């Protein structure tokens, strides 16, 4: 599930954080990187659990309305299509999901106000009204309802990112990427798989964990060598005028260029230009592109970049 786009972002954040500390420990920083990646996988389950929790909250509301002293006919006979959604029932009973949530003890129990607001958004939406009024009772319709809700309401909610940040600082920038994995998971659910429906594994590829650790360690261990390369191609710039994040991003890019022969040069270049655009200054994308392009040409001429 965790792909290399997310890994690069995490490595960038941890390398930057490493240099901000006076008491630096590569071993501790490496553990923090591993923990950060594990927290991303936790967020994946946390967002899946959100859909279950919202359904359970609505079920409690209907039960309370049904049992109140002066219950109306509508209260006594509510529309239960939402709470009996077949996709949610399958997710709720999923063995892999249950085991993870139990072992990690994840819960939305402390976010009752957020859950109430989110449920209100969902039940007053056009998506909900169309779903409730539809005669289609198939598993596919139930699954598609939550795909639309998650894509158009949940991840677009302005308070979701804030709520997640309050729960874990490691989730600050993960929502967009992890959200796509949740959508992918929803689409993969099939009724015939029952409680044994497979969820996404922690890493998209078997060697991605090793990629993360090696990229991080090479970026730190060879920082003097890589920064000397950067200096050669920024001679017209005063180093104190270059954003430190740009230096970190280029340092990691060089580590990837020289340490991973299976990754094409253009892939590495494009990925770190995007990181510069997203996490540094408005001009950083162009700056990092220019410096890395010049540096790549030199490394190629010196036959230091060897690709499979």
Predicted pLDDT of residue 64: 83
Look at residue 75 and tell me whether its pLDDT is greater than 60: no
Predicted pLDDT of residue 26: 96
Predicted pLDDT of residue 237: 76
C-alpha 39/C-alpha 18 separation (Å) is 19
Instruction: Return the CATH class of domain 222-301.
Output: mainly alpha
Token pair belonging to 11: 């490595």
Predicted pLDDT of residue 159: 92
Look at residue 91 and tell me whether its pLDDT is greater than 60: yes
Share of the chain above pLDDT 70, in %: 97
Residue pair 167/104 in contact (Cβ under 8 Å)? The answer is no
Taking residue 75's Cβ as centre, other Cβ atoms within 10 Å add up to 14
Q: CATH 1.10.940.10 occupies which residues in the chain?
A: 222-301
Mean pLDDT of 169-194: 95
Return the closest-CA partner of residue 46 out of 166, 187, 142, 197.
Answer: 166
- Which residues are registered as beta bridge partners of 203? 2
């Amino acid at each position: 599930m965790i792909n290399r786009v997310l890994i690069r972002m995490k490595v960038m954040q941890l390398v930057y954080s490493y240099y901000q500390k006076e008491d630096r420990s590569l071993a501790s920083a490496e553990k923090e990187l591993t923990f950060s990646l594990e927290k991303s996988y936790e967020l994946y389950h946390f967002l899946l659990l959100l859909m279950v929790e919202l359904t359970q909250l609505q079920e409690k509301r209907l039960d309370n309305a049904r049992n109140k002293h002066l219950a109306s006919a509508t209260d006594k006979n509510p529309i239960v299509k939402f709470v009996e959604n077949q996709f949610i029932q399958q997710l709720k009973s999923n063995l892999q999901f249950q085991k993870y949530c139990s072992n990690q003890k994840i819960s939305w129990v402390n976010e009752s106000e957020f859950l109430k607001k989110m449920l209100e958004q969902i039940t007053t939406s056009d998506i909900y009204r169309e779903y409730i009024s539809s005669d289609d009772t198939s598993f596919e319709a139930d699954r598609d309802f939550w795909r639309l809700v998650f894509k158009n309401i949940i991840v677009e909610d302005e308070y979701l990112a804030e709520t997640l940040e309050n729960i874990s600082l490691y989730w600050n920038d993960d929502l967009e990427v992890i959200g796509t994995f949740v959508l992918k998971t929803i689409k993969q659910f099939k009724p015939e798989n029952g409680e044994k429906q497979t969820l996404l594994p922690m890493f998209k590829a078997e060697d991605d964990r090793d990629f993360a650790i090696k990229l991080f360690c090479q970026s730190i261990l060879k920082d003097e060598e890589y920064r000397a390369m950067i200096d050669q191609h920024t001679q017209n710039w005063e180093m104190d005028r270059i954003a430190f994040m740009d230096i970190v991003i280029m340092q990691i890019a060089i580590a990837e260029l020289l340490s991973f022969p299976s990754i094409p040069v253009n892939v590495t270049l494009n990925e770190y230009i995007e990181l510069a655009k997203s996490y540094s200054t408005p001009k950083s994308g162009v700056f990092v592109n220019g410096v890395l392009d010049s540096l790549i040409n030199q490394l190629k001429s010196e036959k230091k970049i060897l690709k499979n």
